[in-house]
Amino acid sequence: MPRYDANDDSVVLIVGSGAGGGTLANELCRKGLKVVLLEAGQRQSPATFRNEEWFAFNQLAWLDKRTTSGTWRIAKDFPNLPAWICKTVGGTTVHWAGASLRLQEHEFQARTHYSGITGANLIDWPLTLAELEPYYAKAENKMGVTRTNDIPGLPGNNNFKVMYNGAIRAGYKTVHTGRMAINSRPRDGRSACWQLGFCFQGCKSGAKWSTLYTEIPAAEATGKLDLRTESMALQIQHDDRGRATGVLYADKDGNHQFQKSRIVCVAANSIETPRLLLNSHSTMFPHGLANSSGQVGRNYMRHTTGSVFGVFKQPVHMYRGTVMAGIIQDEARYDPSRGFAGGFELETISLGLPFAAAFLNPGAWGEDYTNLLEGYPNMAGMWIVGEDLPQETNAVTLHPSEKDQYGLPIPNVHYDDHPNDLAMRTYAFKRGAAVYDAVGATRTVEVPPYPSTHNLGTCRQSAKASDGVCNKWGQTHDVKNLFISDGSQFSSSAAENPTLTIVSLAIRQADYIADQCSKREL
């Protein structure tokens, strides 16, 4: 592995090795560019993962302190854990479940379709589905998404059998084992899914795509990648022309280092990405880097979520096999007659007993709750993921007084549920319960949102510089050689799980960067 000189200003510096950053690094290395990849976390591997929920959480999750505010229930249930994301090589692709769906055409035009909703700060993406389609195809091939590229779907587990039968009886039509970045057959040097059921804890069989053991080793094999683990980016610096010059970071031992670079790409997930930009304020950029619009950190989206669990007379053993084992897609359509803009997907979910106890009703105790938990073997579960609307006041901001271990202000995440989100959640809870009732549930429970696994929109793409932070390539409007390379770019959240889109955008961004470099535009 090369170690580029701190003064080598020909490198591309990427912050974060997850879905966005890990993919971008590989794509750029394969085009022959020199890449320094800074990752705050340590490097694990399938060998060091463990099938234990709390152990894995402590091993992999981002646990640096954050605060919350707003009307969302997270602020009450998990005041210091707004998001469930990773600090490790591979980022949150280590924890993710693998659901890989394309956004729908109308979802790229949120303003056009949903306009006139009070309190929503809607814009259209500066990008269309047609423009992204070739990159979706590349991403699906790279990630080995089932039901694409002639890859068969995964076999459905017990949790899916309950969902399928209930869904059909409740009148749904599009119900199957999903499009998953999990091998149903051996592919790309990785095995087929063993149906372990610990997708959220790091896949020990390697069947599930993660940048940790796909993109990053591929980038290393080019000889172009300089991956620096346990290296926390603290500040992006710039020259007096307003061009980024490199990144100040804290290394393993806490020493400050400065790495020069030609281009800086930030893929630190939607809380740390705006935080890094805000913490990079200077005399020239008093409100933070690339923030002339004031939109850095704003329009934070986390999807309208919630879960429905059903308890049955007979065993289900939902924890056996893939966590997201199937999907109902009928409600993802555009249909304002339901009383809300946007749609939602219903996807199976399972939790092991340790997490079930923690999440089924956060804070609950006593006999009623233990009665519910005693139904654990007979439980089936599904997760709602729906489009939430951007609101300018839903924002990641710097805490006025609290600092982290590096002496930098910690982030506060503010989120108020929009009436549209509440209407969708109420409706989706009812539909989910109807699915389980149709196959004889003795009890259904509505489970409030988990800490956010999907974090989006805080440095969004916009056609006009005043509406957002970056253009349709992820290049910031204000600083030409500064790119946003993760889910922060999303102009709207759409109903689909975001990672396939993050990866597609990263592949597309790599093409653009390479092209601009060859034309000496960057």
**Tokens in use for 44?**
């694990």
Q: Counting every residue, how long is the chain?
A: 522
Determine if 474 is a binding residue for another protein (CB under 8 A): no
Residue 387 in contact with ligand FAD, rule: CB under 6 A = no
Residue 356's binding partner out of ligand FAD, ligand SF4, another protein, none, with CB under 5 to 8 Å set by partner kind? another protein
Q: Distance between the two ends of the chain, CA-based, in angstroms?
A: 25
Nearer to ligand FAD, 170 or 385 (CB): 385
**């979802």: which residue's tokens?**
107
Q: Across the strands, what pairs with 345?
A: 385
Q: Does 497 bind ligand FAD (CB under 6 A)?
A: yes
In the chain, the amino acid numbered 228 is R
182 binds, among ligand SF4, ligand FAD, another protein, none (CB under 5 to 8 A by kind): ligand SF4
- Single out the residue of 498, 505, 509, 510 in contact with ligand FAD (rule: CB under 6 A): 498
Among 193, 233, 482, 510, binds ligand FAD (CB under 6 A): 233
Using the rule CB under 8 A, give the single segment among 124-132, 243-251, 275-283, 370-378 that binds another protein: 370-378
Number of residues that bind ligand SF4 (CB under 6 A): 14
Residues 6+ apart with CB under 8 A from 355: 53
Among another protein, ligand FAD, ligand SF4, none, the one that 82 touches (CB under a kind-dependent 5 to 8 A) is: none
Nearer to ligand FAD, 343 or 487 (CB): 487
Closest to another protein by CB, 290 vs 360, is 360
Contact between 39 and ligand FAD (CB under 6 A)? yes
300 vs 312 by CB, closer to another protein: 312
Nearer to ligand FAD, 162 or 301 (CB): 301
Q: Does 395 bind ligand SF4 (CB under 6 A)?
A: no
Total residues contacting ligand FAD (rule CB under 6 A)? 41
What is the residue type of 128?
Answer: T
Phi-psi region of 230 (alpha: psi -120 to 50; beta: other; left: phi over 0): left
Stretch that binds ligand SF4, among 87-95, 203-211, 259-267, 268-276 (CB under 6 A): 203-211
By CB under 6 A, residue 98 contacts ligand FAD: yes
Partner residues linked to 68 by β-bridges: 413
- The interface mask with ligand FAD, positions 304-343, x = CB under 6 A, is --------------------x-------------------
Tell me the pairing of strands 244-250 and 256-260.
antiparallel
- Least Å distance between CB 183 and ligand SF4? 8
| Closest listed residue to residue 326, CA positions, set 148, 164, 182 | 164
Tell me: does residue 56 bind ligand FAD (CB under 6 A): no
Convert residues 301-320 into a mask of x (bound to another protein by CB under 8 A) and - (unbound). Answer: -------------xxxx-xx
Q: How many CB atoms lie within 10 A of CB 395?
A: 21
Answer whether 15's CB lies under 8 Å from 276's CB: yes
Alpha-carbon dihedral of residues 63, 67, 71, 74, nearest 10 degrees? 20
Tell me, letter by letter, the H, E, C secondary structure of 368-423: HHHHHHHCHHHEEEEEEEECCCCCCCCCEEEEEEEECCCCCEEEEEECCCCHHHHH
Using the minimum distance from each CB to ligand FAD, give the nearer residue, 276 or 382.
Answer: 276
- Judged by beta carbon, residue 247 or residue 372, the one nearer another protein is 372
DSSP at 166: H
**Which ranges of 183-238 does DSSP label H, i.e. alpha helix?**
215-221
Q: Is 95 in the site for ligand FAD (CB under 6 A)?
A: yes
Q: Quick check: 199 binds ligand SF4 (CB under 6 A)?
A: yes
Backbone angles phi, psi at 7, to 5 degrees: -95, 5
